[in-house]
């Protein structure tokens, strides 16, 4: 008897509909699975057989043929276990498929329990697009899938529960969606922990307000990492759409750890030994890299020159496009990668060149070679380039707590609100995302502003990209001050926050 069920396979962060066709009947007993199944899908036949037997079903020794259509799409993961098992039972007339319009996905354990899967949120979005009756997923993934409005989500704990559900024997209440109004969990770090460093703190505030990329240059122990790790605490809370986007990426990567929703903006800090595939994504099957896991948040690269050159150069496309495409021989996968890049580096291998703390042991050529590990095009993609000077012992002992992340974040949120109103009719959300046309419209250059910028451009040989980024920073400074027009004072501060670019 031939039966059909609906499921889907995740490609990138989207899910492609898949029809599971199961036929059982006479012939030499065996299990035949076709439709480009990958290893985890092929191994499912062992799990499925044991789960059916341990759930007190007897299918006997028969010939079972399973086809996963469309046949030209590779099928990854163990989420096909549950629909295939239900199909086998239905084909043997051990269960009636009275609700055939459900989309079903789940991994089976040998005792018949249904285990969590990756990409449940993407599967639910596909079920909604197809206008399915609902979706059946492991109970651990139910709240995540319920974030998608307009689709009924049923969570099951075992094969037996799934059988009762598709047969119409039970009619459980759909899982209610998780509220998106809850606040993000409190962070364990705060900007009030940072002593001194007024220029670096100001740069961090401007970077957060406009979504700008920030480079922190200074000797060891000056506070670069401390400042960078607090950047996410001053960013505005993610919108509903941003939270769901971030959750989709983390779900596909298997990093939700039982959370139905990623409420806080992500902060990713990969080690400098991270490969280019780990940074931008890759593998077989492809998985999102650190740039995608930092989507809508902060990517922090400490000791920037120590990263592999290929990994750093691979950042150039996602920094410009807000997405990264992983191309393989037979397919290409695109992941979102709109993040704020924060990097920290020493001025030389020993770290003390020009610091005044201790004498530098590096030669001039060695120091230049160290800085030269980072290409000019990559450095050109940093909007702010700030020198972080070491704080003296007296300042550390005498300093009062600085402004908290909440106080700074309030000003950042106000500046972001101005930008949201400004760009309400476009697809961008902050000043750093402006293109040349929008820049000309929102940052007109005339009078003293134009003369000041022309002088700096001639003195430091600014590229067109660097010129545009300077104007974007000036626009953000004006937003923080609550001014509609960009003035000479705003541009001066923007250039001051890039001074280390010319002094390095």
pTM score of the predicted model: 0.90
Pairing label, strands 214-217, 384-387: parallel
Cα(325)–Cα(318) distance, integer angstroms: 9
Give the per-residue pLDDT at 454: 86
Q: What is the CATH number of domain 2-167?
A: 3.30.230.10
Token representation of residue 82: 């549950």
* Extents of the domains making up the chain: 2-167, 191-424
Q: Are 431 and 419 in contact (CB under 8 A)?
A: yes
Give the per-residue pLDDT at 502: 55
Give the per-residue pLDDT at 501: 63
Q: What is the largest CA-CA distance in the chain?
A: 88
- Cβ neighbourhood burial of 28 (10 Å; 0-12, 13-18, 19+): exposed
Please tell me the total number of residues recorded for the chain in this structure. 504
Cα(138)–Cα(108) distance, integer angstroms: 10
Phi/psi at 127 (nearest 5 deg)?
A: -60, -40
Half-sphere exposure of 443 (CA within 13 A, CB side): 28
What distances in angstroms separate CA 137 from CA 155, 297, 308, one per listed residue? 5, 29, 40
Give the per-residue pLDDT at 22: 96
Give the burial string for 458-468 (b: 16+ CB within 10 Å, else e).
Answer: eeeebeeebbb
Cα(61)–Cα(209) distance, integer angstroms: 66
Q: What is the mean pLDDT of each run of 10 residues along the chain (504 residues)?
A: 94 94 87 93 94 92 93 92 96 91 96 96 95 95 93 96 93 82 70 86 94 93 91 92 93 89 93 92 87 96 94 92 84 90 93 82 88 89 89 70 89 95 87 90 86 85 84 94 91 83 57
Give the per-residue pLDDT at 478: 94
Is CATH 3.40.50.300 the right assignment for the domain spanning 191-424? yes
Residue 400: which residues within 8 A CB-CB, separation 6 or more? none
Q: Where are the alpha helices (DSSP H) in 37-80?
A: 39-42, 44-54
The residue to which tokens 């002593």 are assigned: 195
Q: Where are the strands (E) in 26-185, listed by range?
A: 30-34, 63-69, 102-104, 107-108, 114-115, 134-138, 152-156
Q: Are 73 and 11 in contact (CB under 8 A)?
A: yes
Cα(116)–Cα(292) distance, integer angstroms: 22
**What sign has the CA pseudo-torsion 230, 236, 237, 238?**
negative
Cα(257)–Cα(43) distance, integer angstroms: 24
Half-sphere exposure of 450 (CA within 13 A, CB side): 5
Enter the DSSP assignment of 304: G
Cα(489)–Cα(487) distance, integer angstroms: 5
Cα(204)–Cα(230) distance, integer angstroms: 9
Give the per-residue pLDDT at 113: 97
What torsion do the CA atoms of 429, 435, 436, 439 make, to the nearest 10 degrees?
10
Cα(137)–Cα(154) distance, integer angstroms: 6
Give the per-residue pLDDT at 226: 92
User: In 3D, which of 104, 139, 143 has the Cα closest to residue 121?
Assistant: 143
Question: How many other β-carbons are positioned within 10 Å of the β-carbon of residue 371?
Answer: 16
Phi/psi at 435 (nearest 5 deg)?
A: -95, 180
Q: Are 335 and 253 in contact (CB under 8 A)?
A: no
DSSP 368-435: HHHHTTS-HHHHTT-SEEEE-PPPPHHHHHHPPP---HHHHHHHHHHHHHHHHHHTTTSS--SGGG--
């Amino acid at each position: 008897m031939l039966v059909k069920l609906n499921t889907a396979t995740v490609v990138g962060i989207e899910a492609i509909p898949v029809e599971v066709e199961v036929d059982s009947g006479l012939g030499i007993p065996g299990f035949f699975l076709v439709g480009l199944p990958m290893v985890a899908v092929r191994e499912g036949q062992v799990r499925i057989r044991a789960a059916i037997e341990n759930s007190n079903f007897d299918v006997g020794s028969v010939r079972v043929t399973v086809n996963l259509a469309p046949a030209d799409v590779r099928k990854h993961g163990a989420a096909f276990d549950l629909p295939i098992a239900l199909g086998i039972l239905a084909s043997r007339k051990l269960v009636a498929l009275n609700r055939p319009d459900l989309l079903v996905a789940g991994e089976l354990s040998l005792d018949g329990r249904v285990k969590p899967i990756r990409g449940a949120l993407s599967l639910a979005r596909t079920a909604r697009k197809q206008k399915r009756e609902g979706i059946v997923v492991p109970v651990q993934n139910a709240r995540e899938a319920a974030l998608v409005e307009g689709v009924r989500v049923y969570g099951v704990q075992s094969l037996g529960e799934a059988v009762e559900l598709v047969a119409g024997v039970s009619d459980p209440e759909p899982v209610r969606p998780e509220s998106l109004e809850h606040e993000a969990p409190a962070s364990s770090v705060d900007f009030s922990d940072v002593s001194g460093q007024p220029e670096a703190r100001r740069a961090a505030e401007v970077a957060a307000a406009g979504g700008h990329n920030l480079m922190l240059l200074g000797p060891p122990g000056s506070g670069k990492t401390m400042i960078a790790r607090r950047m996410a605490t001053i960013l505005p809370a993610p919108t509903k759409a941003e939270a769901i986007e971030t959750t989709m990426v983390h779900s596909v990567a298997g990093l939700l750890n039982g959370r139905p929703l990623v409420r806080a903006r992500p902060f990713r800090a990969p080690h400098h030994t991270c490969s280019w595939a780990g940074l931008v994504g890759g593998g077989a099957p492809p998985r999102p890299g650190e740039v995608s896991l930092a989507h809508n948040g902060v990517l922090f690269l400490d000791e920037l020159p120590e990263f592999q050159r290929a990994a750093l150069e691979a950042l150039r496309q996602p920094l410009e496009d807000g997405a990264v495409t992983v191309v393989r021989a037979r397919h290409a996968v695109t992941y979102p990668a709109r993040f704020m890049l924060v990097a920290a580096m020493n001025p030389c291998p020993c770290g003390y060149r020009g610091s005044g703390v201790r004498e530098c042991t590096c030669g001039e050529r060695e120091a230049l070679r160290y800085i030269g590990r980072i290409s000019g095009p990559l450095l050109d993609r940093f909007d702010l380039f700030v020198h972080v000077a070491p704080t003296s012992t007296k300042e550390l002992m005498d300093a009062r707590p600085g402004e908290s992340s909440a106080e700074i974040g309030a000003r950042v949120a106000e500046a972001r609100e101005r930008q949201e109103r400004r760009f309400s009719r476009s697809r961008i959300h902050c000043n750093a995302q402006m293109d040349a046309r929008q820049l000309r419209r929102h940052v007109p250059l005339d009078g003293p502003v134009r003369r000041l910028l022309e002088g700096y451009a001639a003195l430091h040989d600014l590229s067109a990209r660097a010129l545009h980024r300077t104007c974007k920073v000036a626009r953000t400074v004006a937003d923080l001050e609550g001014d509609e027009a960009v003035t000479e004072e705003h541009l001066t501060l923007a250039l001051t926050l890039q001074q280390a670019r010319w002094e390095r």
